[in-house]
């Protein structure tokens, strides 16, 4: 095998390890404070230690893991202060991105409608029937709006903020009435985007994020 082929295989293995470990952290299967061992991860993933080591470096650089000399890496713990920092940033940037998307009319609103209806179908009596699927659909909904803003840097910054364990599974923290309100916001956002009304879209997104912020804060302090 050529050196290039070896390098490609190594990158593929590292990317594979990165995605699996990252998904476990974001989903909560790896709890905050948990120590991660290279050997155990390599065995469970089915790769050597080298790609696992590279994956752990990437996740540490992204802030999902903390490195301690002579001890290894630990899943970062998140607290109320982290939550407030994250949502303060979202309150500034995401409504602005939504207003840009409304002005430019570049979002596929029919696709947003499909995603919103799919989320509605996953909720029965105010409770999600499939939390993982609901979370995935919600993230795709928000990502589509941000991509429609036409500001790639804004989309990249917010993606790195939203995809953190403390906000990734937002719906896990919702009471039934808060979940219904959140889903209703999605449909109002779609209406604002269809109307190309930037002020309306921005206002709804502000309410949407503020509601999520209070829901997570309330449950975190319960």
Q: What is the pLDDT of residue 7?
A: 42
Based on the fold, state whether residues 126 and 203 are members of the same structural domain: yes
Judge whether residue 34 has pLDDT over 90.
yes
Q: What is the pLDDT of residue 163?
A: 64
Q: How many other C-beta atoms are found inside a 10 Å radius of the C-beta of residue 33?
A: 10
Cα(17)–Cα(12) distance, integer angstroms: 9
Based on the fold, state whether residues 118 and 37 are members of the same structural domain: no
Q: What is the pLDDT of residue 168?
A: 58
Q: What is the pLDDT of residue 79?
A: 81
Q: What is the pLDDT of residue 5?
A: 37
Based on the fold, state whether residues 131 and 196 are members of the same structural domain: yes
Give 144-162 pLDDT, tens digit per residue.
999 999 999 998 888 777 7
* CATH of residue 16: 1.10.10.10
Task: Name the token pair of 20.
Answer: 């699996």
Place of tokens 């939550």: 83
Alpha carbon distances (Å) from 216 to 61, 92, 171, 174, 212: 26, 18, 9, 7, 6
Domain boundary among 75, 107, 131: 75
Q: What is the pLDDT of residue 153?
A: 92
Q: What is the pLDDT of residue 208?
A: 97
Domain boundary among 42, 75, 108: 75
| Residue 127 pLDDT level (bands cut at 50, 70, 90) | confident
Task: Name the token pair of 60.
Answer: 């540490």
Q: Output phi, psi for 103, to 5 deg.
A: -65, -40
Judge whether residue 184 has pLDDT over 80.
yes
Query: Edge to edge, what strands does the sheet with 72-75 contain?
Result: 35-36, 72-75, 65-68
Residues with Cβ < 8 Å from 8, sequence gap 6 or more? Answer: none
Q: What is the pLDDT of residue 77?
A: 85
Based on the fold, state whether residues 127 and 160 are members of the same structural domain: yes
Which structural domain, as residue segments, surrounds residue 39?
3-75
User: Based on the structure, what is the number of domains in the chain?
Assistant: 2
Based on the fold, state whether residues 174 and 213 are members of the same structural domain: yes
């Amino acid at each position: 095998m050529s050196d290039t082929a070896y390098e490609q295989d190594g990158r593929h293995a590292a990317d594979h390890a990165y995605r699996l470990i990252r998904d476990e952290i974001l989903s909560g299967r790896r709890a905050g404070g948990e120590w991660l061992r290279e050997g155990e991860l390599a065995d469970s993933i089915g790769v050597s230690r080298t790609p696992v080591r590279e994956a752990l470096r990437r996740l540490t650089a992204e802030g999902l893991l903390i490195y301690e000399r002579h001890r290894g890496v630990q899943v970062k713990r998140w607290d109320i202060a982290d939550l407030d920092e994250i949502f303060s940033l979202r309150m500034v940037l995401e409504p602005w991105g939504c207003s840009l998307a409304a002005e430019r009319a570049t979002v596929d609103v029919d696709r947003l409608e499909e995603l919103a209806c799919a989320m509605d179908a996953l909720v029965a009596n105010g409770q999600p029937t499939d939390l993982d699927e609901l979370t995935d659909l919600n993230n795709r909904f928000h990502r589509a709006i941000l991509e429609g803003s036409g500001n790639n840097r804004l989309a990249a910054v917010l993606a790195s903020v939203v995809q953190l364990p403390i906000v990734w599974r937002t719906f896990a923290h919702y009471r039934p009435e808060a979940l219904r309100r959140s889903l209703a916001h999605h449909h109002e956002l779609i209406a604002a985007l269809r109307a190309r009304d930037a002020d309306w879209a921005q206002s709804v997104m502000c309410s949407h994020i503020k509601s999520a912020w209070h829901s997570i804060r309330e449950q975190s302090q319960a």
